Every structure is written in structure tokens, then in C-alpha cells.
Structure 1
Amino acid sequence: MTNNMKSFIAQLPKAELHLHIEGTFEPSLMFEIAKRNGQFIPFDSVEELEKAYKFDCLQDFLDIYYQGAGVLIHEQDFYDLTYSYLEKCAAQNVRHTEIMFDPQTHTDRGVSFKTVINGITRACDDAREKLGVSSLLIMSYLRHLSEEEAFVTLEDSLPFKHKITAIGLDSSEKGNPPSKFKNVFAASVKEGYIPLAHAGEEGDADYVWEAIDVLGIKRIDHGNNSLQDDKLVEEIVKRDLALTVCPLSNTALQVVKDLKDHPLKTMMEKGMNVTINSDDPAYFGGQVNKNYEEIQEALGLSKEDLYNLAKNSFQYSLLDNVLKQQYLKELETFYLANK
């Protein structure tokens, strides 16, 4: 990669639309919070923990992801986790981020919903004021758990509805189709939440069909396997649904063996609206700028390609139109001066 291209990516105003806050947990911060809370983690050093961040599949990753999340107990822990990520956003010119959080990962351990959301939102408020990074929250249901358990989480969320913009669906995709959560998604939409879902990462194109037809989602998280079905691709383009693609996550979890084989360029050529995101950056080897850099180099993306990807990130965000247009103007001004 040329220094010119690296500098262009570093300065490019962008939004991140697919990010799990629990997946930003850097080993050094995990050790610090574990020590503060007297929590045991089965690693002797930061270096040993980093070596464990090598996965053969989604489930390998999830096993250690939930183990790490177990040290988060107090509101300050969630604040520290979130603010650490938002500082990285500011350093990468990520102007806006849409943060997914997994309440069930914590409430199942006896941590209250209030503790989780107040810690996260306090960090978001501080980052907006001190770092100039805007954010909103996506409450994710864990698909390996039951729909009944998701309904409990929905009820838990209602006193804090003003702090949450959307709902998502994550965790183990195989064997847990979107239709499993049809009723809780319908109830969530009635409460004013915007529906989103992971689909087509491990699951095939049928899962994407279900997500858009049964759950009525407004954006597709991942969506790689949409390319299995030409009619689905046509439908996604027709409905103007964006995909939140995560290149380094895809290689880390063996969804794609080599970035040179990543479908992102093909998606763009087919008219699909793609965005670049980091997913779980602490575990998958890179923040959002690293994802831009590595996919640019692997696929030979042009500055115009990168501009369009960043443009999509704002255009398909859940921001109100005033702030959306402000960010799009900032991006356009940068691009015209640096293309």
C-alpha cells in the first residue's frame, strides 16, 4: 500500500455500522478490569490472551468472547470499554458509529440491564462532547437463546427505550434462522425499534431472505452469502438495503480464506450498497481503518471506491437527515480535495 493511499484512508471521514462493543475488549483492558473486579481469566498474560485470538470458526470465537465479557460487572466497566473504543474512532476519523451491545451476555450473569446501558450511554455522551464522535445503540438478541428469552430482554429495555435506536440479531447463525425471532421482532418494531439482523455470514441465502421478508430488516449485517442467489441480489438492490461487510472478521472466522477472494468488489459491481466495518476488532486483528487498508490492497480498490464505501456508511446509517447530510458534505469536501 502506498503512503498516499494509507493517508487517504486515515483522513477519510467515515461511519462504522457493524461493531459489537463487547468485541472491542482489548486484552490489556480486560486484564485491568478483571484485576479491579477480582475476576479470574484463564490466561497468565496479555500476550498469552492475544495468542488465543486465533479461530477456526464463529463458535471458537464466541467461546472466548463470552469468557472475556464475564469480567464486566459494574457501570464503570461498561463505560471504560465503550470510551476506549470511541477514542479509537476519533483517532481514525470515524465520525459516527452504531454500537451493538448484547444485554443477555450480561443479564444472564446477574448484571442488570440498567448497569450495562448506563455505562455505555454515559461513555457515548462524553465522546460526543469531548471527541466529536456521534453514536447510537443497537440492542442485539442472541440467536442461540430462545425467543422467550429475547422477549424478557425486550421488556427489560423498555424503561431505557429513549437510549436505543434499533434491534439486531447476532451470535451463532447456523441452526438459528431469523424466523425463530419473528414474534419478538414484530413486538420490538411496535415499540419503535428499527429492525436489523446478521444474515448470510454462516447461514446461506435462505437466511437472508428470511431476515428481509420475515423480520423486515432495514439493513443486512454481513450478507456475504447473498451472492448465492441472483434473485436475492436483485431484491436487495431493489429494496435499497445496505450490507455491513466486515473483511477481517470474514478471514479470521474462515468465512473467506483469503481477502483476495473477498466478495466485496463483486457486490459493488452488482450494485449492492456495501459498507466496511470491523465487527469485533480486538479479536479479529484490526479496527475499521485496518479493514479499509487491507481490503483496498487485496482487491485494488480505487480512491473513488473507498469514497463510495464511506459515503454508503453515512447514507445507510440510522442518523437523522440533518446530521447525515452534514457528514456527507464533510466527506465530499475531503474527497474533492484529495482524489
Structure 2
Amino acid sequence: MPTNYPTKEFIKMLPKAELHLHLEGTLEPELKLKLARRNKITIGQETIEEVQKSYQFDSLSSFLNVYYPAMNVLQTEEDFYELAWEYLKKAKEHNVRHVEVFFDPQAHTSRGVSFEKMFSGYYRAIQDSSSLGISANLIMCFLRDMSAESAMETFEQALPYKDKIVGIGLDSDERDNPPSKFFDVFKRAKEEGFYITMHCDIDQENSIEHIRQALFDAKVERLDHGTNIVENPDLVKYIKENNIGLTCCPVSNSFVVEDMKGKEIIELLEQGVKVTVNSDDPAYFQSYISDDLYALAENYSLTTEQVIQLVKNSFAIAWISEEEKEKYIQSIDEYVKTFNKLKVI
């Protein structure tokens, strides 16, 4: 194994899995403007530069205040297809081999777009991902700043599509919206055989208690973000013993709090926790998965071995078969061997 630091080229072509990616967060300025014009929607911006300038925020709340209004340009099945397809093409550029992507039905049904229209567009793109050499699955998320009743209603809407959705998640503003608010709907999701995960956002009020609820009461299989767990060694021990991974997003972290949480990610990695790196909402943070990995490596002097382990962790905690995991992890080893023969990393 190489012992020096990884280059951007090496990182970009590493086979990867992405497990924390919001499809609505892949709305690039060019596509937003295109859809606004196509659907005759006034968004207050006329040029790509103006759209780019509007993507400014310094906290979770300010981010969400930009994020949700932008979705108004998504109106037709074809819009949702195009959004997901553009992300998948970008994922291929970063040699992503497997993705499990979040989508937020309530953000669309609450503004009059039907569940069927939204879901059909997303699912068609997921089906077409194989033509890019990518396997893909959908994770439906509930918006935690909406009611538990709305979440249950959305869950009922999704049941006819049960075989097309791999898991259920929880995202959006965590303040005053603990996991316990949604225990009933997540109990239903478990009973229906879905995998479950929850956002436990960084440095929020009651972060540790929210993590505890997610782990012990909701019994999640993964945690999204969740790096505050380092504050409680017993919880760290629990996730390590139970093979529960964390889907971390260092670049988006740096936009909504003071840093990337790189020290915490490294600490968890060194303790053997299945911590991973993902891009979250790449259109808004202008950082896709390889960019996140490289930014973390550059800012925290990660070794090549550490980067390789982060990528292997993503496949290890993916909701795929053991045979598929083994195949993907083997492809990483083969890539590293080939790269080392050709270049010094």
C-alpha cells in the first residue's frame, strides 16, 4: 500500500459509493434556469451568474431558505428525470459505481406536484443508471420540520412503490424536531421491511440525545452526518460493535458550521468506525464526492490508505448484497494496484 498523500487524480478515479446525496441538492444553476424558462416560472434571476450568486448561506437555516424555494422549477415528470439524470452523469465522471440517493416527496407534494409524477421521473433515471455503469437505489426522506401526520401520509403514498424504494430517511431542520417525533412512522417502515437512516446534523441543539434516539429507539442502520457522536464514547462503541456507519459530508459541514469536522471523521476512522465521505448537496456547495474527499485529504493531511478506507467503508455499509460489496471492494484494490504500477501517487 502507498504511504504518501493521494493526488486529486487518484481520488477522482477511485471506485466509490455515495450514500448521502439529496437529489434536490443537485440542482445546478444552469438546470435551474433552464427549467424556470421551460416552465415559465419567475425565480428572480435571469442569468447563470445571478443564480450562482443566490446560492449563499452560512447556516443550516439560511441554506434551507435558499434550497426549498429553488425546487419550484421542478414541475413535470421530465424535470425530475432530468435532475436525477444530470446528477448520475456527474457521478460517472467521479467514478461512482453505486449510489443510494435521498429524495423529499413533501417538498413537492406540498406545492401541488403529485407523488406519482415526482417519483416516476426519479425512478426512470434510477433505472437508466445501469447504462452509465452505476447501480442506484432511492431513499425516501421525511421533512422533520413538517408534522408526523404528514410523514405518515407520505409513507402511505409510497407503499404502492415499496419495491422501488430501498430505505426511509429523515432530513431538514433538526431544531425542535427530534427523531422521537417520527417514531410511529419509522416503526411502520421497519415493519414493511425498509432500511432506515436519519440525519443527526452537526452541532445542533441536543445532537447527542438525537443520536441516542436514532440508534436505540428508532434502531437505524446508518446515521447521516452524526459526527457529534465522538462526544460520547459509549455511543461510538455501540455503532462500531453494530457495524452502523456514518455518512459524512465535510464540504457542506464547512458551510453551515465552523469547519469540516475533519478531526472527528479521522478520529472515528482510526477507531474503526465505518465513517464515509459524501457530497450532500453538491450543486449548492460546488463539491462533488471526489472534491469532498480531496478537500478532506488536503486540509487534514489524510494518507492514501485513509482515503482508500473511507471509500471501502461506503461500500461496506451500502444496502447491497455481501457479494456486491465484495466485488466493489475488490475493484478498489485492483484500481490501486494498477495506479501504483503506472504512477507514484
Aligned match for 1:15, one of 8, 11, 17: 17
Residues 82-139 of structure 1 show CA distances to partners (whole Å, capped at 9, x for unaligned) of 00000011111000110100000001111111111110111111121x2111100000
The CA distance in 2 between the partners of 1:334 and 1:104, in whole Å, is 41
SS in 2 for 1:263: helix
SS in 2 for 1:196: strand
For the pair 1:246 / 2:249, whether they are aligned, the reply is: yes
Residues 284-335 of structure 1 show CA distances to partners (whole Å, capped at 9, x for unaligned) of 1200010011000011111111111110011100012232222111112112
Match of 2:282 in 1: 281
Match of 1:302 in 2: 303
Within-5 A mapping of 1:199-238: 199-201=200-202, 202-203=204-205, 204-238=207-241
Choose 46-55 or 117-126, whichever is displaced more.
46-55
Match of 1:46 in 2: 48
The CA distance in 2 between the partners of 1:63 and 1:273, in whole Å, is 32
Normalization by structure 1: what TM-score?
0.95
For the pair 1:76 / 2:74, whether they are aligned, the reply is: no
SS in 1 for 2:169: strand
Query: Which amino acid in 2 is paired with 1:228?
Result: E
The CA distance in 1 between the partners of 2:239 and 2:177, in whole Å, is 22
Q: CA deviation at 1:149?
A: 0.5
Q: CA deviation at 1:215?
A: 0.9
The CA distance in 2 between the partners of 1:329 and 1:270, in whole Å, is 23
Q: Which runs of 5+ in 2 are unaligned?
A: 341-345
Does structure 2 conserve the Cα–Cα contact (< 8 Å) formed by 1:200 and 1:223? yes
Give the RMSD, CA atoms, in angstroms.
1.5
Query: Which amino acid in 2 is paired with 1:279?
Result: D
- What count of residue pairs does the alignment treat as equivalent? 335
Query: Which amino acid in 2 is paired with 1:31?
Result: L
For the pair 1:109 / 2:111, whether they are aligned, the reply is: yes
Q: CA deviation at 1:224?
A: 1.5
The CA distance in 2 between the partners of 1:26 and 1:3, in whole Å, is 31
SS in 1 for 2:184: helix
Match of 1:155 in 2: 156
The CA distance in 2 between the partners of 1:3 and 1:270, in whole Å, is 21
Does structure 1 conserve the Cα–Cα contact (< 8 Å) formed by 2:222 and 2:245? yes
**Percent of aligned pairs with the same amino acid:** 41
Query: Which amino acid in 2 is paired with 1:241?
Result: I
Q: CA deviation at 1:262?
A: 4.2
Match of 1:179 in 2: 180
SS in 1 for 2:302: coil
Larger RCO, structure (CA 8 Å, separation 6 or more): 2
Choose 152-161 or 203-212, whichever is displaced more.
203-212
Query: Which amino acid in 2 is paired with 1:147?
Result: A
SS in 2 for 1:309: helix
SS in 2 for 1:275: strand
Match of 2:343 in 1: none
Q: CA deviation at 1:25?
A: 0.3
For the pair 1:92 / 2:94, whether they are aligned, the reply is: yes
Residues 210-257 of structure 1 show CA distances to partners (whole Å, capped at 9, x for unaligned) of 001111100010011111212211222122110000000100112xx2
Aligned match for 2:125, one of 120, 123, 126: 123
Q: Which runs of 5+ in 1 are unaligned?
A: none
Does structure 2 conserve the Cα–Cα contact (< 8 Å) formed by 1:200 and 1:208? no
Q: CA deviation at 1:52?
A: 2.1
